Amino acid sequence: MKDMMKALTAPGDPKLAPGEARAPGPSTQDLLQSEPSNAQDPALLTSSDAFLGDQDLPFARYTRQQFYDLEMQHLWPKVWQWACREEHIPKAGDFYTYDIGPYSALVIRGEDNQIRAFVNACPHRGMALTDAGSCGQGKQFIRCPFHGMAWHLDGSLREIPCRWDFPHINDADFGLDEIPCETWAGFVFINFDKACKPLAEELGVLPEHFKDWGLEDRFVAVHTVKTLPGNWKMCMEGFLEAFHVLGTHPEVIHTASWANTQYDVFGPTVTRFLQTVATGNPNETQSQAEIYRLLGYTDELPDGTTAREQHAQHQRAALGQRFETDLSAVSTSIMLDSIEYHLFPNACFFPGIQIPLIYRFRPTGLGTCIHEVLLLQPVPEDAPRPLPADPIHLGMSDSYTQVPDFPLAKVLDQDTENFYRQWAGMNASMKPGQTLANYQEARIRNFHNTLDDYLGEVEAVPLVFK
């Protein structure tokens, strides 16, 4: 352990340009390209790093109400957001309500099987047509609960009670207020900006990278909704790097290459990390047999087989049986690794099988947010798609261990327990900003650069936020 800490805390090479330093030991690409099965996933055999500066990032971007208000005015009404999964609304009349700050969208499948999104407000007197966070099935039409006006599932006007009293209304002009709605990989996205760019322009490399990973062929096996203490950006950024593993998840530092995690910036809206699992720590000298034992196995590691590959074989068999699907052809990296793509502003997608997380972070106030976690499991072969799991709501003090069949509960508890202290420290700090690592925290800086693209046109943004 002392040798590992010495290697990790040694000063960087002064001959390297800013952003070029990397942890000692084999890189993620060294490992992935040495494993034949990963050749079927060429997206994992690429890298795209970027040095984005080393200036401090002001805490005011998280702690000031003025900055939060600017986001509510200039970010959330202008950006594509994942609202629900297609499986949440499989039949005509099924609906899902998506809310962010003061904005609300009613997502519904029409009789023509098309998914549409409407502003969740009656054009008569503004009544919300559905309750915040609600969903349901089999609507024949959309009716306002206040005065009974109704619309067809395509948003066109169906009826107005006391129609004689509204001679000034043109039926064709009194439909629900439709907003852009598109789908990708089984997810339904909405945008409150009717003049927005197509979703494909924001997805960047995601469609190409995910084309063979089949998220659309998975179902929601677990769904949690937990309230967290802290600004939504602060909480989300805790999941954009693996640098915290040493201090937060010490039980895995001997088996995972957390310090050699690869970080990629694919453009303003998409970034990625690749953290390999069952590799041993690159800063320690470990035999494959030792790594295999640390993974919890008591049998002998076969000669000529790495601990990682044997672990992948065990997982292919065990999870294949559990999921009732054939995983024998899944690559080692997709089978085991923590692979996270972030889509601006608030969503994270993991294509892996053992770590199949989907995250979403939504602000509920300056210092509170909602963290939603979905576990996407392959749909069983030769069987109907299971119904998506109902969301389990957790308060700030509730543990993820309360959630049945949730193998990552302990890890998420460790992550989210950090936020009480971090939020308190951000507000107490006399140092005006946080100092980010050049490489390991580059995704955070990329996120803020893109956020500034949305806020940069606002003349009222003070310098303290820059």
Residue 273 one-letter amino acid: F
The answer to whether 283 and 7 have CB atoms below 8 angstroms apart is yes
How far apart (Å, rounded) are the C-alpha atoms in residues 172 and 313? 60
For residue 12, name the pLDDT band (cuts at 50, 70, 90): low
How far apart (Å, rounded) are the C-alpha atoms in residues 281 and 288? 11
Q: Is the dihedral of CA 315, 316, 321, 322 positive or negative?
A: positive
For residue 461, name the pLDDT band (cuts at 50, 70, 90): low
Cis peptide before 345 (omega within 30 of 0): yes
Amino acid 15: pLDDT? 78
Beta strands in 141-248 (DSSP E): 142-143, 150-151, 157-159, 178-179, 181-184, 187-190, 218-229
Amino acid 281: pLDDT? 79
For residue 25, name the pLDDT band (cuts at 50, 70, 90): confident
Amino acid 232: pLDDT? 98
The dihedral formed by the CA atoms of 310, 311, 316 and 321, expressed in degrees to the nearest 10: 110
CATH number for region 81-195: 2.102.10.10
Residue 11 has pLDDT above 90, yes or no: no
Positions of CATH 3.90.380 in the chain: 2-61+211-465
DSSP state of 431: S
Residue 103 has pLDDT above 80, yes or no: yes
pLDDT digits (tens, 9 = 90+) for 224-233: 999 999 999 9
- Going across the sheet that includes 142-143, the strands are 142-143, 150-151, 157-159
Positions of CATH 2.102.10.10 in the chain: 81-195
Amino acid 150: pLDDT? 98
Q: Which residue has the higher pLDDT, 324 or 3?
A: 324
Q: Which two tokens stand for residue 104?
A: 């609300």
Look up the pTM and report it. Answer: 0.95
Under CATH, what is the fold of the domain 2-61+211-465?
Naphthalene 1,2-dioxygenase Alpha Subunit; Chain A, domain 1 (3.90.380)
The answer to whether 181 and 190 have CB atoms below 8 angstroms apart is yes
Amino acid 387: pLDDT? 96
For residue 8, name the pLDDT band (cuts at 50, 70, 90): low
pLDDT digits (tens, 9 = 90+) for 259-268: 899 999 999 9
Q: What is the DSSP string of 245-310?
A: HHHH-GGGTTTS-GGG-EEEE-SSSEEEEEE--SS--TTS---HHHHHHHTT--SPPPTT--HHHH
Amino acid 128: pLDDT? 97
Ramachandran angles phi, psi of 361, nearest 5°: -120, 125
Amino acid 250: pLDDT? 87
pLDDT digits (tens, 9 = 90+) for 364-421: 999 999 999 999 999 999 899 999 999 999 999 999 999 999 999 999 999 999 999 9
